Structure 1
Amino acid sequence: MAQHYNLEQQEQLATLKAFWDKWGTPIAIVAFALAIGLAGWNGWRYWQGRQAAQAAILLDQLNVSAASNNRTAAEQNFTVLRNQYAKTAQASQAGLRLAKFQAEQKEWDAALETLQWVSSQSRDVGLRALAVLHSSAILMEQDKPDAALSALQQYSFPAEFHALRDDRIGDILQQQGKTAEAVAAYQQAHRALTDTSAYRPLVEFKLQALGQAPTPSSTSASGTLQR
């Protein structure tokens, strides 16, 4: 019985050896690759977290600089963020904050340049959309309604920004003296907003100021206004 067990064990060892001779190297390579991949993933997550933390510090510094009207320091903070931490959300947030500060100083071209960077470089679709909306507001301040309207119509806004886009289009059309078209834009913006939206009463006020009341529609609330 013991001799039979030894023979069986030897057969198993021989089979295992043959299997390992054939597949041992590929298995070892795969295992090594998985280990390297896991280490790389953990390293990348650590690096990403560190980037975000460092960018957050610079964003805080930019906010302090802007609050104290130190434009030079604020722009320097943003330059570092843009050059070294461009892929972080904080860099895009900093761009929006700096552009607001620049606009308050009536540095329109500088603000537009900053917003252009955010709209073209940010990974966050919401921040990109906000940059385009802010750009259109600055163009309106510069009395460039056609350019403001073009900026809005050429950008593909996510659905959740359609109401803000159409409301801004209404503002531009009203600035151009196109009251009927402005009303249509406001109506579309109103339909895209929910009953609980804090922004909806403002759109209603704009309609009422033009002698209009909000009207329901069977069309999709997120449709694009055609011109």
Structure 2
Amino acid sequence: MATHLDLEEQEQLDQIKHFWNKWGTLITTVLVIVLGGFAAWNGYQYWQNRQGMQASALGSAVEAAVNSGDKARIDQAFGDLRSNYGGTLQAAHAGLLVAKAASDKGQMDDAKAALTWVADNASDDGLKATARIRLAAVLLGSQSYDEALKQLDAKMPTEFDAVVADHQGDIYLAKGDKAKAIEAYRTAYQKTAPGVEYRNVISVKLNALGEDVK
């Protein structure tokens, strides 16, 4: 009886050895890849969380500097944020904040520089579009009409279509091209949903140019 069991055990061992000889390397490789991928994912998650926390801290530093009105601190904090965490949402939001603060103080070159950076480097298409539209407004104020139109020609999410057309109308009107201004305002009006207050603003602009939106 013992001999019979020994033979069965030996046969099972032989089968296991045969199976391992045939598939062992592949199984080991798969395990290494899976476990390595799991470790890499955990490492990446940790790195992302760490990046996010550090970017948030610098973003708060930019906000504090803006609130204090200290230009040197603004430049330093925003510069560090761009250099080290330029691909984060915090960096893009900080850029928009810095641009607004500069614009409010009449520092249009600084506003233009911050908005240009966000438009070129933000990881979020919506923030890029916001920066381009605000940059177009700054360029309009400095009578750089062609540059302003160029910013608005860039590809943007469709939800910005009405705002883009409205700003194009403002630029064409400033250039003295009434026909193109009316065309742009009509596009903005059509792309704004009925009942939205913004539509009334565009309607006023069209009426001022002698156009009846109805």
TM-score (norm 2): 0.91
* 1:92-141 CA distance string (max 9 Å, x none): 11111111112222222222222221111111001111111111111111
Q: State the AA in 1 paired with 2:156.
A: F
* Secondary structure at the counterpart of residue 123 of structure 1: coil
Go from structure 1 to structure 2 and tell me whether the alpha carbon gap of 1:28 and 1:196 turns closer, same or farther (over 3 Å shift): farther
What's the RMSD between the two structures over aligned residues?
Answer: 2.0
The separation in 2 between residues aligned to 1:80 and 1:39, in whole angstroms, is 30
Partner of 1:136: 136
Q: Does 1:69 align with 2:44?
A: no
1:22, distance to aligned residue in structure 2 (A): 2.0
1:214, distance to aligned residue in structure 2 (A): 2.7
Partner of 1:182: 181
* Secondary structure at the counterpart of residue 55 of structure 1: helix
Go from structure 1 to structure 2 and tell me whether the alpha carbon gap of 1:199 and 1:50 turns closer, same or farther (over 3 Å shift): farther
Q: Which moved more, 1:8-17 or 1:76-85?
A: 8-17
**Superposition pairs for residues 1-227 of structure 1, below 5 Å?**
7-153=7-153, 155-214=154-213
Aligned residue-pair number:
214
Give the gaps of 5 or more residues in structure 1: 216-227
Give the gaps of 5 or more residues in structure 2: none
The separation in 1 between residues aligned to 2:198 and 2:105, in whole angstroms, is 27
* 1:42-76 CA distance string (max 9 Å, x none): 11112111211221122222122212222221121
The separation in 1 between residues aligned to 2:196 and 2:124, in whole angstroms, is 23
Go from structure 1 to structure 2 and tell me whether the alpha carbon gap of 1:198 and 1:7 turns closer, same or farther (over 3 Å shift): farther
1:156, distance to aligned residue in structure 2 (A): 1.0
The separation in 1 between residues aligned to 2:21 and 2:212, in whole angstroms, is 82
Q: State the AA in 2 paired with 1:125.
A: D
1:143, distance to aligned residue in structure 2 (A): 1.4
Q: State the AA in 2 paired with 1:163.
A: A
1:205, distance to aligned residue in structure 2 (A): 2.3
The separation in 2 between residues aligned to 1:185 and 1:193, in whole angstroms, is 12
* Secondary structure at the counterpart of residue 199 of structure 1: helix
The separation in 1 between residues aligned to 2:158 and 2:14, in whole angstroms, is 65
Q: State the AA in 1 paired with 2:75.
A: E
The separation in 2 between residues aligned to 1:141 and 1:179, in whole angstroms, is 18
